[in-house]
Structures are given as structure tokens and as C-alpha cells.
Structure 1
């Protein structure tokens, strides 16, 4: 009887011990699951931050509404590439006035992810006798009209006194909503004087005077990029910078490499000091430091094998 009782007690102890292990295991699994979910959510939040990091318009420029206006463009490839550039830099309203080419498959092909801009573009095809009046009607839809020109400045021609985009102070526009037209001329001759007359002012892209002529789509891309930088807060995204301990680990690994190469203590000190100067100036990221540690660690392993 006593033996049976002892056996039963022993079984209960074992059962209790196994139950305790199972509970502990379940708790650990639950904690690991929580950590896994936390890491997923954290990565999603970082991705969200990175995708929105360069798309924030500065508060003082929220009221500006830009439209790209092409006057008599002659090439469908240029039109398509302009749509692509507009998509790149966050512009969406395209107006094509009196196009001199078919806007078909070729334009769609070169618009890439800017196809929606092309599909929604407003195309105005006036009669020959209504050309100027139709253009004036279009221009009158805007509060400000900015022309473009690639020709050399002549101070006796006040119509072509030019400015650079960086010189424009958009913060001075204090109306609740400002519609701004960016007007680009033909590929071969640009905007005519009577068209420049309709603009409030004219901007120019600084180029080498040896060959100042730019392709239309390239000119549009440069102007839009200049505006993108001007009206938006641009950030590189979330970068985890290295800590002092991370860098000290790198220096220790590098010392091991130099030991295997039989560097003198003085030479090692100079190399470490130089590396500290470089990494200090560059505000190195944790990823960069880890890559260097991995590189020197592999070198150390190979050295020991030899």
C-alpha cells in the first residue's frame, strides 16, 4: 500500500513538473509571438515613414496649384516623357495647347507610370483664326503665368529678362489658392514674343553657353525638379546611426586584422585614428559599421586559417 502511495505521489510530481514545463513553454512562445508582431509593425511604420519622407509639401506652399502648359509640342515622345517627369516630382495637371503631333501609342509608351497624367491631360485644339484668343482665354484661368526660355538674355529686350527658379519667392503669394501655369514652348523655337507678353515673368535654366539648347522634356524635368526642391521638405528617410560602442567594436576588429598583418603599435594607432576621423565626419550608419565589421572579421578568419 505504501509503495502504491509513493508511486502515485511520484507520478503526480512528474505530472506537475511536465505541466509546469508546458506552461512555461507556452508563455515563451506567446512572448516570441508578441515580439514577432511588434517587429512587423515597427518595420511597417518605418516603411510608411520612408515612403512619405519626400512627399511633404511645406505648409506655406499648400495653396499653390501648378499646371504644366505645353504650347504646340511637336513630338509624342517628349509629351510622354514629360508625363513621366511630372509623376516623378508630384505634378499632375497637364494642358497641351494646339499639339503639332498625334498623341497616341508612342506618347503612352514613354509616359510609363505617368500614363494617368497623359490620359487626364486637357488638350486644346483651336481653329487657326482663334489661336491667340484661345491662348489668352487659357492664360486668364491662372493667377500667375511663368514662361520659359532658353535664349540668351538681351537687356534691350525686356520680354526676355530672365530669372532662375531658385530666385522665385513663392511665399509672397498669400491668396488662399493660387493657380500657377508653367508654360513651355515648341521644341525648335520655344515661346514667341507675343506669347511671352502673356507671362508674368520668364525663367531660364543655367547651362553652359557653348550649347544652351535643351530638349523640351529635359527642360521640363529640370524645372519641375527645381520646384520640387523648393516647395517640399525633403528627407533621406530613417537612418539608424551607429553608436560609440558600435564603432569601438569595429576598431577592435580592425586591430585584430592589423595584428595578423604584423602592424607596429604606432602604425595601428595612426590607422585607428584616421578611421575615427573619417567615421566621425561621416556620421556613419549602423548598417555601414556592421558591414565593415563583417569584412574585417572575414579577413581575420582567413588569416588564422593560413
Structure 2
């Protein structure tokens, strides 16, 4: 089977769907698809029993195996090796592990070490407890951040410019621009919660600080957080690194089916330049207050009567300008 014959897209799920159709034909017990545009010959395969594999061509003496996962088997071949995933593995884990290997190959990683590295990345991540699903408010906030991350990557930015996952005061740090994102499903989207005195404080490096106000609307025609994750990965972000950082925000792929049902569209966006003229609370304003017994200061910022203070630009243009694409 070739790409031209199948018409599949560079998406693991689509490729596996093609293979499932192929092995459903009478007399067929397995099938393979070549994965093109990689530095080495690689084939995705599936058998009727449900196992799937990635077969990679390389010097067999360079293959680094990992036999510590019960559902994953490494087989050394005369012209390389095969990483086979048993049907007992969750489909999301299988898809993502295969996608990780393909991505590593495309980035020029040592072909003989791709399987071991990908499995190690996923073992660390999947060993963490899933916990409870995110609350509706937390999911809305995460959706808003990921949409901004998607925009940054689309304009040539980097995953590392998203800093909100690491308990940073603000969500994104670009060259001379810091972005804080506030998202809500409320029609009163100009009333936002500010967490701590540092969230709207002047950036230490003198960068401009922009507050993004985003209103989301639930819609079956919208996108979910898992949809955004797929888009971000297609834009070049490492899936394992992205999911590792998302796990710091208590997002787990083990709840993917639950999150798939929460779809949103962004219907309004307002941008605010936050400086001394913008309403806010910052540490310097409470310099005379004894803070020794005050652990946290949260407050609600009401910007309903100040819409004319919005920046005369959109987020896409703002990010493009700061990334040198305009």
C-alpha cells in the first residue's frame, strides 16, 4: 500500500484507520503503510489481532531496546527494528507513542534510539496519577491559554514561550511582550479574577504587559482542549513535552474522552495594555501594609465601563509583530 493509494494524512489516527480497513478484507491478516518524508524508511503496521507497530530501517547494531513495558515489544531485524504495541494498551497511549516516534524521526533523532526515547518519555508521563478531571472553570482557562499558544506557534514562536504551566505570574513571555490570558464563558467577560499581587505587576525585564480578555461559548461546532493539543503538536511542539507541562496543571490524557465533549468557540477578544494607568493592585501599592500574616491576595477586576481602553489591534497582529512576522 502506498500513500497515493490510501490518501492518508500525516496523522496517526488516520493512518491506523486506513490499516484497519485494509485488514478487514478477506484473506488479509496484516497490513503496512510507508511513512514518507522521514530521514529513514519507516512503516506503520497492524495485524488482525490488534497489535500495531512502527518498523524503522537502520543499522541493527545501533538499536537501543527497552523491555520494561509489558505492552511494548522491541524486535531487532536484519535491516533495523520494530516496536510493537499490544492491543491491551489504551488507544490514546498507542496513538501518542507512535506519533512521538514519528516526530522524533522527523526531528533527526538517532533512528536506533527513537523507540527507547519515546517509550521513556511516555513511561514518565503515564506513571503519574490521573487525579480528577479539571473543573469547568479550569478547562475554560486552559482552553484560552492553548488558543494563544497555537497562535504563537503559527507565527513561528516556541512552546517555551508558554510559561503559565510553570506557576509563572503570567502565561506567556515573548521578546518585549508578556501576555496574561483571562477566559470565561460568562457574557460578563470584562469582569475577571486576578490571582495575587504579582499577576499584573510590571514585568521585571521592562517588557510590555498585555491582558487578553477572551469569552468562550460552548458549541458542538467548536473545538475541545484535546483538539487544540493536536493542532499544537501539528505546529511542531513535542507531544510528550506538551503533555508533561499540561500535567503540572492537572490535565491528564486519561480523561481525554471526558474533555472531548467540552467544545468552545471564541466569540470576543479584548486586549488591554497594563501599565500605571490601568486599574490593578501591585506589591508597591501595599508597601506600608504588614503582609506577614497575609498569604494571598486575589481580587476581581471590573472593566465593563472601560471598553474604549482596549488596544486598537487584535491578538494575531500583536503576536506577529513581536515575533517579527509583520
Same fold (TM over 0.5): no
More strand by share: 2
TM-score normalised to structure 1 length = 0.19
TM (norm. structure 2) is: 0.19
| Structure of higher RCO (CA pairs closer than 8 Å, 6+ residues apart) | 1
Q: Which has the larger radius of gyration?
A: 1
